Amino acid sequence: MGWTCRKQRRLASSSKASRRRSTEADSPRRPADLATLLNVARLEKSVYELAYELNNRPDWVAIPVHGLRRLLAEITD
């Protein structure tokens, strides 16, 4: 195995370990934190869908509004 190949393997393995440590450190530890993160993502997606329908199919805006209201009711209960 040549010098270049050894360096590439060493770099790849250290990069994988670094990504794994970073992911573990950034991931939520408590279920409540994970639920909050999921709710934020769902809310963000709902608002995106509402904006999309307003810009492209205003006659369909009731669909994302209904979903957004249902999501907000679920989150605030």
How many helices and strands (H and E) does the chain possess?
3, 0
Residues in the chain predicted with pLDDT less than 50, given as ranges, are none
pLDDT of residue 56: 97
**In terms of residue numbers, what domain contains 71?**
3-76
pLDDT of residue 24: 65
pLDDT of residue 26: 73
pLDDT of residue 71: 94
* Tally of structural domains, the chain: 1
- Please tell me the distance from the alpha carbon of residue 12 to that of residue 5, in angstroms, as a whole number: 11
